[in-house]
Amino acid sequence: MNHLWNILLLSAAVFIVASLMPTIKIKNYWTALAAAVVYSLVNFLIGWLLRFFAMPFIFITFGLFTFVVNAFLLWITDKLLDDFEIDGIFSTLIGAFLITLINSGLRWMLS
């Protein structure tokens, strides 16, 4: 049940960020839910490996390089879904930062 709750909060964060940024386009809330599921699966399958290899950069930047890893995972999600589109690398970086920030804020508010 906890995983379902995390997916719903992540999809809300994706939907909010897509509403705020004109360079991130989603078709509807179901697309945000699909993006959250795909992002979670990609994060589960290869996110740990990317973070492992990026550990020196994450350590040197005091954890800020994690946003680059998250942006890469978001870019993969963009490529896997047709109804989820991000225009450019800068938008991907900002979107990953905002999704992480909003998702953490929603978890904090609802815990």
Token pair of 69, please? 């890893």
Listed by start position, the domains of the chain span 2-110
39-84 pLDDT, tens digit each:
999 999 999 999 999 999 999 999 999 999 999 999 999 999 999 9
Instruction: Give the residue carrying structure tokens 């509807």.
Output: 28
Q: Model pTM?
A: 0.91
CB 15 within 8 A of CB 29: yes
- Residue written as tokens 């991000």? 86
pLDDT digits (tens, 9 = 90+) for 13-23: 999 999 999 99
